[in-house]
Amino acid sequence: MTRRLAEALLRAATRRWPAEYRDELGREWSAELHVLAAQRQRLRMLRYAASLAASRPDGPLAGPRAVRGRAGRTAAALLLAPVAGVGIVLVSAVVMAVVVNGFLATTVSWSTRAQLPLLTVLTAALALLLARFAARWGRRSALAGPLRTALGVMLPVGVTAVLLEYVLNRGTQGLIRAAPGLVSWLTLLTLVLWGASALAGRGRVRAAWWFGVLGALVVADVSVVLTVVNAIPAGPQTVVDGLPQADTVDRISAPLWLFASWTDWSFGLPRPTPWELFLITDLVEVQPYLYLAVSPYALAYAVNAARSAPPADAAPPEGLPA
C-alpha cells in the first residue's frame, strides 16, 4: 500500500517536469524507491516521493505551473477548511466564555442560559464567513463531477472529525460512542452534497441550495438523534434507594434534539425537559457545533464547484479527462 502510494506520488512528480526529462527521472526515482522499499523504510519512501511531488522544478526545468496551481489550491482549500471549521468552534467557545464570564455573569441573571445560544450564533456567523470563502474556492475547483466533489469535500472533513472526537474523548471508547452519529453524518452529508452538486451542475442552483440546506439540517438532526439513542435509554429510569435517577430521554422529542442542543431550549414544548436537555447536550457536546461550522462550507464549495464546471455535454478541453 505504501509502495503504491509512493509510486503514485512519483508519477505525479514526473508529470510536472518537462517531457524530455520524464523517462529518465521516473526511472531514477523508481530505482531509489526500490532501495528504500528493500530496506523497509516506508516512511522515508513516502517522504521521498511526497517531497518530489510537492516541490516545483526550478528555473528552465519548471513544469506546468497552472495545473499545479489549480490542483494545489483545491487540495489546500479542501484540507484546510475542515481544520478551519474546528478552529471556528474553538474560537466561538473561547469568545462565548469571555463574554459570559467576563460581562454577562456579573450583570444579568440569565448568563448561564445564554451560553449555548451565544456559542451557536458565533459559530454560525463564522461558518457563513468560511462559506463565503469556500464559494470562491469552489469556483476554481479542480474537482470535476458531483460525486468526486462531494467525496473530495467530505473525506478531509471525516478525517478531521474523527481526529477531533478522538482527542476530545481521549481515546477510542468515546469515539465508539460518537461513531453512529459521526458515521451517519459523514455518509448522509456526502449524499446531500452529491445531490446538491448534481442539481447545481444542471443549472438548478436555487433547488441545489434548498436541497443542500434542508438536507444538511436533516442529516445533522438524524446524527444527533442516533448518537443520543445509541447512548441514553428511553426508559424506564433507574431507581436507586427509591429515587429515580433521571437517566433517560423520551424519544418523542427526538426531531428537536439538534435545535435544542444549539439553543438549550425546548421551544415551549413539554419535552425535552431541562434534565433531558442536560443529558443530550452533555453527551453530544461538540458534534452539533461541528456540523454547524462545517456544513455551510461544504455546501457552498460543492454548489459553486458544480456551477463553474463546464456543462456535462460539452467536450472537455484537450488533454483533460471528461
Residues that bind other proteins (CB under 8 A): 13, 21, 24-25, 27-32, 34-36, 38, 47-49, 51-55, 57-61
Q: What are phi and psi of 315, to 5 degrees?
A: -70, 135
The distance of closest approach from Cβ of residue 261 to other proteins in the complex, given in angstroms and rounded to an integer, is: 46
The distance of closest approach from Cβ of residue 80 to other proteins in the complex, given in angstroms and rounded to an integer, is: 21
The distance of closest approach from Cβ of residue 6 to other proteins in the complex, given in angstroms and rounded to an integer, is: 11
> What are the C-alpha distances in Å from 321 to residues 240, 302, 315, 316?
66, 19, 10, 7
Q: Which one, 12 or 205, has the nearer CB to other proteins?
A: 12
- Are the C-beta atoms of 286 and 89 separated by less than 8 Å? yes
- Are the C-beta atoms of 85 and 232 separated by less than 8 Å? no
Q: Which one, 63 or 212, has the nearer CB to other proteins?
A: 63
Q: Which three cell numbers stand for residue 158?
A: 471525516
The distance of closest approach from Cβ of residue 48 to other proteins in the complex, given in angstroms and rounded to an integer, is: 5
- Are the C-beta atoms of 220 and 288 separated by less than 8 Å? yes
Q: Which one, 34 or 139, has the nearer CB to other proteins?
A: 34
The distance of closest approach from Cβ of residue 51 to other proteins in the complex, given in angstroms and rounded to an integer, is: 4
Residue 240's DSSP bridge partners are: 243
Q: Which one, 48 or 297, has the nearer CB to other proteins?
A: 48
Three-state secondary structure call for residue 302: helix
Q: Which three cell numbers stand for residue 259?
A: 435545535
Q: Which one, 13 or 182, has the nearer CB to other proteins?
A: 13
Q: How far is CA 72 from the centre of its chain?
A: 19
